[in-house]
Structures are given as C-alpha cells and as structure tokens.
Structure 1
C-alpha cells in the first residue's frame, strides 16, 4: 500500500476507549481494536478493554491470555462475518501521544499481518493519537468519517 492509510473509527469504539481511559485514570488502560479492512481502509468497529492488573501511570501491557479471552468474548457477541483484530489501543494519563516503545511494538506486531495494524493512544486531553504500521514499517494515517 502506498500513501496514507485511511482509517474509520466508529463512535462506539471511541466511546469505549474514552470511558475506559477515564475510569482507569491516573493509570493507563488498554485493549484491542476490532474491525476489518475494506478497499484499503481500516474500519474500527469496536474497542474492547483488556485489563492489565499491573497497569501503572506509565505502563499498560497486553497480557496475551487475557487479550485472547476478551477477543473470544467480543467476537462471539459481535457476530460480524468480517470482524477481526485490527490493532491495539491504550491510554496515557498525560497529554502525550505514542511513545517510542509504542511505535516499536506496533511495527513489530504488524510483521505478522499483510494489512496495516493500528495503534490508538488516548491522551489525557481527549485526543486520539492514531498510528499505523504495515509489515514492520510505520504508515501515515488519514482519519476519515464513516
């Protein structure tokens, strides 16, 4: 794919992220982004919280067993034929976006997928910092409305 990665984030996904970030503050919260790829766009239909029992004000780690359980529950509840994992989200209880470690993590994870993966960081000022990576390389994101 050349050029920016178009991303559509449904309002339910935004609300889930914002609500979870607010409840967790001053700790980080995070989870999975669920959706699909369509005509070069990444559609984020839902966000699922995955609790990290060791989350702090500067760290949230996706615990694989908890993430898989959350994914299985969400997929069963959503029952959408195209639905799948399209990335991760987490909050920063400060007005800062994705860290160097965050960007490294999404680039590494993207190596396992032919399509772009997303990372959304919810900042304390309510801004969503949206990043994408494909096959280990960062991509420019173009957020579009549904």
Structure 2
C-alpha cells in the first residue's frame, strides 16, 4: 500500500482544493487485498466537493498501469479519490462503489484520502457494504 499511498498523497497535493482520484491496482487473496499501485485520472471540472469519474480515461489509465506493472495477478481492486475536507466517504461515494461491485466477483475498495491525511477505506461486494479484513502493501 506504500506506493499507492505515496501516489494518492502526491496527487491530492497537486489538486489543492479540488477533488481528484483514480483506480487502485492489486489483487485479492481470500479476504486480504494487496493494493500495489494507484493511478490518477484528473477531472478538469472538479471542485472542492465533487468530481466526475471520466470512465474512458479511467479505463485507459487502468489498462496502461496494469501493462506497465507487469504482475500476472495485477487487476482493478477499486477507486480512490480525495476530499479537501476532513470527511469520510459520502453516501454518493458508497452508492457508486456498491453499484460497480455488482459486476465484480471480489469486493471493490473505495478509498477516500482526507485533507488530514487519513485514508477512509471501505469495501463493497455484490452491491452491499463489506468489511475489509486486511489491506497490505
């Protein structure tokens, strides 16, 4: 998770008072998720309380990152985004990840990087909230 945290923190710093975010890459091993990398997909129209996930750009960034990392287990494990305020995942954040989780066999992580450097880590599986048992580097 260290590389992903570094990428997330740096991207949040560049975004200043705007939200930013991107895909999380890694793999699941039983109830343990190995988050190895994070990408950034900039939304030029983002502001302090909202950004829009640009799906085609997110998919392109995801495929490019998976190819560059070259690990046979590497895949999409969720999304991250920043909150310029010290607040956790919003109801809309959780609704979005629960909806996306319906199409994946493993849980998806929505990670929110708050302005106080706290990572709010949740999970969703098959449309429902799911407890993350362990996230590793």
Give the shorter-chain TM-score range. Answer: over 0.9
Q: For structure 2, which runs of at least 5 residues remain unmatched after alignment? A: none
Aligned length: 137
Displacement after TM superposition at 1:145 (Å): 4.7
2:47 counterpart of 1:56: yes
Could you tell me how far apart the structure 1 residues matched to 2:136 and 2:76 are? 20
Q: CA offsets, 1:8-59, max 9 Å, x none?
A: xx20001000110111010001000000111221111100001112111111
Match of 1:123 in 2: 114
Could you tell me how far apart the structure 2 residues matched to 1:144 and 1:43 are? 6
Displacement after TM superposition at 1:101 (Å): 0.2
- Which of 1, 11, 15 aligns to 2:2? It is 11
- Which of 28, 36, 39 aligns to 2:19? It is 28
TM-score, normalised via structure 2 length: 0.95
Match of 2:79 in 1: 88
- Aligned-residue CA RMSD in angstroms? 1.1
Q: CA offsets, 1:66-110, max 9 Å, x none?
A: 111111211121011000000000000000010000010010000
Displacement after TM superposition at 1:139 (Å): 1.1
TM-score, normalised via structure 1 length: 0.90
Q: For structure 1, which runs of at least 5 residues remain unmatched after alignment? A: 1-9
